[in-house]
Structure 1
Amino acid sequence: MKKVTRAACLSLAVLIGGLSLSGSYAFGKSRPEDPAKALQVFSSDRGQALQATAIGPGLVNLSPSDEFSTYQWGLKNDGEFRLIELQAKFRTVDQTYSQTRSGVGIGIPKPGPDDYKSIVTHAVTGVDIAIQPAWKLYDQAETKRSVTVAIIDTGIDIHHQELKNSLWTNPGEVDGDGIDNDGNGYVDDIYGWNFYSGNNQVFVGNEDSHGTHAAGTIGADRGSYGIAGITDNNYVKLMTLKALGGEDGAGSPEAVIQAIRYAEAMGASICNLSMGTTAYSEALDQAIRDSSMLFVVSCGNGGVSGLGYDTDIYPVYPASLPHDNVISVANILFDGSLSKDSNFGALSVDIAAPGSFILSTIPGDAYGFMSGTSMAAPMVTGVAAMIYSYRQDISLLEVKNILLNSSRKMDSLAGKMVSGGLLDAYAALTWQ
């Protein structure tokens, strides 16, 4: 199997860029924005309840038993994508955030309400992750590996009809008895843990829209309710680790590190990190480097200008960390072009996946559209979990190599990332 890696070349790129992984930064005037001290959830983060007419990626339903799956263009694209009269009120993910705030926070939200009103885009047929043939192949397999995926983010609505059957639960804990039954240092950690507040309340309300949206893309019930998740929730379970919270989705790198250590200790093998920062944290670097998990990370939504930039020159962490267990993900549009606000990097970004106007779960048994590399990363996480479950003969590092090598090469992505390609679930499952 041919190995695709960016570790050695990225180290060279960092030196050429004049940056020190262990020191402070001194960026020139061409820097898209000053380095943020905050770890940010990279997403457009404007959730929109599905209260308006939408015409999705073609007339054939992706998953007929799921009412809204026609609108999931990222999974299937027949060459048309239109959103009509998406009026409605935006959820509380409408804030503007300081780039100098310490700790963790959700990135500058975009697009604004006007960008949703009259979108009519003729998509390019086949710009999707080819999930239907992948499902067919996966479902035919007689045996599959059980996989736990850690979602370190805001919380997840554990009561959502689409997610309640997809959640990891701690087999060593008794719910509600106030005792640390398994002796891991966390009392009643049934679904995971809230590292933002230091308790077991992994869902607190609308501030957890971002994590709930990521969870739906990866593991929403297929064939049951509104949308179809990528994975089979009989075999893939989602561990809820809330490290971000509050009105602006703030938290700390230390909370993320604690969540990583918990996830690995409790058996997770793949970790979704739809977040990032331009400020390097040696402790976070070491936590990821020393982990046995595979990390799928959003590469960022550009600077204050709204335009993506080259992370080979201006790194974004943890996506730019030069470790073999990190996959950095960019956002591709339904017409096959890289989203204008998606970062890129020939050496530091690995693969692209659909990330704009992605329909998924939001709190309260609802569904909403969000955009950003935060939405692209869970696409890759879901397919990674599917591969690892399907191919019981491979390691997690081989999962990464398969994803990159099997990606669908596209001229629009050439020279912009390591693989030069779009995530392809079927090609990944059949890659030899």
Structure 2
Amino acid sequence: MNKLLFFALMLCTAGLFAQTAPQNWWDLDRTDDTFPGVSAQKAHNYLKGKKAQDVVVAVIDSGVDIEHEDLKDIIWNNPGEIAGNGIDDDNNGYVDDVHGWNFIGGKDGRNVNYENLEVVRLYNTYKAKYNNRNRDGLSKAEKAEFDLFKEYEKVIEDKKSEMGPQAGQIIGMMNMIDGVVKEIGKKPTDITASDIEALTSDDQGTNAVKQMVARATAQGGSFADFYDGIEGYASYLKQTIEYNYNPDFDARDIVGDNPGNLDDRNYGNNDVEGPDAMHGTHVAGIIAAVRDNNVGMNGVGGPSVKIMSIRTVPNGDERDKDVANAIRYAVDNGASVINMSFGKGQSPYKKAVDAAMKYAEKNDVLLVHAAGNDGKMLTLKNHYPNDTYEGKKKTVKTWIEVGAATPDYGDGLAAGFSNYNSKYVDVFAPGAQIYSTVPDDGYSNLQGTSMAAPMVAGIAALLRSYFPDLKATQVREIILESAIPASLMVTKPGSEEMVDFSELSTTGGLANAYTAVKLAELTKGKKKKVAKRDESLMMFK
């Protein structure tokens, strides 16, 4: 989650992205409204008056604020559990799991917030075996592990060398900004660009802040956006050094389990929000925030979608054991769609995750996963989890991998941070400047493929709600078949090279709720096959 969350929190700030689109651009329709959204509003207008049934979407993430004003009415309630009685009423192995479960919490109520990255955990594993040993005399297999030990050691040392000076600079900058805030005497959210411009001072720090704010607000943002961006980056640097890349930091004692014991499933607690639910709450809002209630924003999925929160992803890398157990929990407790807006670069227990994904497929559950925010070509070796079983060519038939698009229907359509691959990324969806729910009844713009995946999960939930006879494999195929082709030359993410948008994913298109609904109607009644799209449905010419 570390990279996903960093991009999501950082790219939203003024000075990094100008506010060039309406807050609800991703809900809109390219033909009717000029913005390349998922046409959710158009889909819901079309479905008005039609019968829908409840659908549960599991959000495997950092946690969800289940009391948020725009989410509280769509939170899943476990029908077999009595809240607060300390008894596992439904005998599923989890006590008082009324709204989901927290696999990164302890039985004493404490919760993991920060965590190592997987590279650090692997380094520690190999260090215990190879520290102070010489490569000579090792077996071939041991030499391979020794080389990985040294490789991971270098990654950690390089990252500390890189981030240390940055941390000093940014924290120093934050101190200057806080000094300016104190001088003005207002909360950062109440300070305007005019307040900053009106400051007169001979202090170099104050004048430096004035210049930075002037540049940021000239691009359409506010001082609050600027402040949040710098504060977020300072926190990110501190988190990276002190926790993510710190081999001496170990948070797992909070959970109290053995993370290498993959047969252990009954651990954690029922706190589905946790200490930092920003990311998960934002994702949940995109999927299913109450529509047309004159509060906040509208989720893609609609009124019949219920959110199950499964807290699994810390500020650091999620553990394979927790991901596998989260998927199984979702399946066993009635979820028909699972959103997974997380990813990492190594997966030591991939087979356990593979087995859980196979379990989901067998039980007709759709898995929607974010492609990642490294601005690079996604492969089966650089981003986990993925849809291909370890050591095999076989893939999960109910998996959708999602890249991120922007509101710019031009050469900037593919978000610069988004991963891509014409073979392993299935479709793109809005993932830049996404306004959605955040904790404490708040709303904010965040960005990342973390935001694009729930767009597709919301479409999937919409289909499974209004067309309940469709199988997960059919829903997947409908979403991909109905994706709107974008015949554009775009800047390839992470580079300045121009490529055809069709080269970035298997569909070469943008997920769309309206065309998916229309195709679902044509498919209705078919046992396995999906109707071929009618080109008259393709709106983006």
Same-fold status (TM-score > 0.5): yes
Number of the residue aligned with 1:344: 420
Please give the alpha-carbon distance, in whole angstroms, between the structure 2 residues aligned to 1:231 and 1:199: 28
Please give the alpha-carbon distance, in whole angstroms, between the structure 1 residues aligned to 2:425 and 2:477: 14
Please give the alpha-carbon distance, in whole angstroms, between the structure 1 residues aligned to 2:456 and 2:6: 15
Is 1:202 equivalent to 2:272 in the alignment? Answer: yes
Q: Quickly say closer, same or farther: Cα 1:181–1:393, change in 2 above 3 A.
A: closer
The Cα shift of 1:47 comes to 7.2
Q: Which amino acid aligns with 2:329?
A: Y
Is 1:333 equivalent to 2:406 in the alignment? Answer: yes
In 2, are the aligned partners of 1:312 and 1:346 still within 8 Å (CA)? no
Q: Quickly say closer, same or farther: Cα 1:50–1:236, change in 2 above 3 A.
A: farther
The Cα shift of 1:331 comes to 0.4
Q: Which amino acid aligns with 1:162?
A: D
Please give the alpha-carbon distance, in whole angstroms, between the structure 2 residues aligned to 1:208 and 1:71: 21
In 1, are the aligned partners of 2:328 and 2:359 still within 8 Å (CA)? no
Number of the residue aligned with 1:64: none
Deviates more, 1:374-383 or 1:285-294: 285-294
After superposition, residues 30-109 of structure 1 pair within 5 angstroms as: 41=4, 44-46=7-9, 57=21, 70-76=22-28
In 2, are the aligned partners of 1:49 and 1:367 still within 8 Å (CA)? no
Please give the alpha-carbon distance, in whole angstroms, between the structure 2 residues aligned to 1:138 and 1:326: 26
Number of the residue aligned with 1:218: 287
Number of the residue aligned with 1:136: 45
Query: What secondary structure is seen at the aligned counterpart in 2 of 1:414?
Result: helix
Query: What secondary structure is seen at the aligned counterpart in 1 of 2:352?
Result: helix
Q: Quickly say closer, same or farther: Cα 1:49–1:380, change in 2 above 3 A.
A: closer
Query: What secondary structure is seen at the aligned counterpart in 1 of 2:101?
Result: strand
**Root-mean-square deviation over aligned CA pairs:** 2.5
Query: What secondary structure is seen at the aligned counterpart in 1 of 2:8?
Result: coil
Please give the alpha-carbon distance, in whole angstroms, between the structure 1 residues aligned to 2:457 and 2:306: 12
Selected match of 1:419 from 507, 511, 515: 507
Q: Which amino acid aligns with 1:423?
A: A
Instruction: Specify the structure having the higher radius of gyration (Cα).
Output: 2
TM-score (norm 1): 0.71
Selected match of 2:36 from 109, 127, 149: 127
Please give the alpha-carbon distance, in whole angstroms, between the structure 1 residues aligned to 2:92 and 2:43: 37
Is 1:184 equivalent to 2:92 in the alignment? Answer: yes
After superposition, residues 290-301 of structure 1 pair within 5 angstroms as: 290-291=359-360, 292=363, 293-301=365-373
The Cα shift of 1:195 comes to 0.6
Please give the alpha-carbon distance, in whole angstroms, between the structure 1 residues aligned to 2:13 and 2:288: 19
> How many residues are treated as equivalent by the alignment?
328
Please give the alpha-carbon distance, in whole angstroms, between the structure 2 residues aligned to 1:330 and 1:158: 27
The Cα shift of 1:403 comes to 0.3
The structure richer in helix per residue is: 2
The Cα shift of 1:204 comes to 2.5
Deviates more, 1:406-415 or 1:370-379: 406-415
Selected match of 2:56 from 129, 139, 148: 148
Selected match of 1:273 from 326, 329, 340: 340
Q: Which amino acid aligns with 2:398?
A: N
Q: Which amino acid aligns with 2:330?
A: A
Percentage of identical aligned residues: 36
Q: Which amino acid aligns with 2:47?
A: Y
Please give the alpha-carbon distance, in whole angstroms, between the structure 2 residues aligned to 1:211 and 1:352: 20
In 1, are the aligned partners of 2:346 and 2:384 still within 8 Å (CA)? yes
Listed one character per residue, the Cα deviations across residues 180-203 of structure 1 (whole Å, up to 9, x for unaligned) are: 111111111110111111101111
Listed one character per residue, the Cα deviations across residues 396-432 of structure 1 (whole Å, up to 9, x for unaligned) are: 1100000000010012421211111101110000012
Unaligned runs of 5+ in 2: 106-267, 389-394, 489-500, 523-541
Number of the residue aligned with 1:163: 71
Listed one character per residue, the Cα deviations across residues 370-420 of structure 1 (whole Å, up to 9, x for unaligned) are: 111000000000011001111133111100000000010012421211111
In 2, are the aligned partners of 1:157 and 1:203 still within 8 Å (CA)? yes
Q: Quickly say closer, same or farther: Cα 1:385–1:145, change in 2 above 3 A.
A: same
The Cα shift of 1:251 comes to 3.6
Please give the alpha-carbon distance, in whole angstroms, between the structure 2 residues aligned to 1:40 and 1:181: 38
Listed one character per residue, the Cα deviations across residues 150-187 of structure 1 (whole Å, up to 9, x for unaligned) are: 00000000110010001001011111111111111111
Please give the alpha-carbon distance, in whole angstroms, between the structure 2 residues aligned to 1:132 and 1:196: 36
The structure richer in strand per residue is: 1
After superposition, residues 276-425 of structure 1 pair within 5 angstroms as: 276-280=343-347, 281-291=350-360, 292=363, 293-302=365-374, 308-312=375-379, 314-321=381-388, 322-336=395-409, 337-412=413-488, 413-425=501-513
Q: Quickly say closer, same or farther: Cα 1:199–1:313, change in 2 above 3 A.
A: closer
Please give the alpha-carbon distance, in whole angstroms, between the structure 2 residues aligned to 1:43 and 1:396: 31
Q: Which amino acid aligns with 2:505?
A: M
Query: What secondary structure is seen at the aligned counterpart in 2 of 1:135?
Result: helix
Q: Quickly say closer, same or farther: Cα 1:329–1:48, change in 2 above 3 A.
A: closer
The Cα shift of 1:289 comes to 2.2
Please give the alpha-carbon distance, in whole angstroms, between the structure 2 residues aligned to 1:325 and 1:334: 28
Please give the alpha-carbon distance, in whole angstroms, between the structure 1 residues aligned to 2:382 and 2:11: 31
Please give the alpha-carbon distance, in whole angstroms, between the structure 1 residues aligned to 2:439 and 2:35: 31
Q: Quickly say closer, same or farther: Cα 1:136–1:427, change in 2 above 3 A.
A: same
Q: Which amino acid aligns with 2:369?
A: V
Q: Which amino acid aligns with 1:193?
A: W
After superposition, residues 9-28 of structure 1 pair within 5 angstroms as: none
Deviates more, 1:212-221 or 1:127-136: 127-136
In 2, are the aligned partners of 1:43 and 1:375 still within 8 Å (CA)? no
Number of the residue aligned with 2:223: none
In 1, are the aligned partners of 2:28 and 2:42 still within 8 Å (CA)? no
Q: Quickly say closer, same or farther: Cα 1:318–1:48, change in 2 above 3 A.
A: closer
Query: What secondary structure is seen at the aligned counterpart in 1 of 2:355?
Result: helix
In 1, are the aligned partners of 2:3 and 2:373 still within 8 Å (CA)? no
Selected match of 2:325 from 241, 253, 258: 258
In 2, are the aligned partners of 1:173 and 1:182 still within 8 Å (CA)? yes
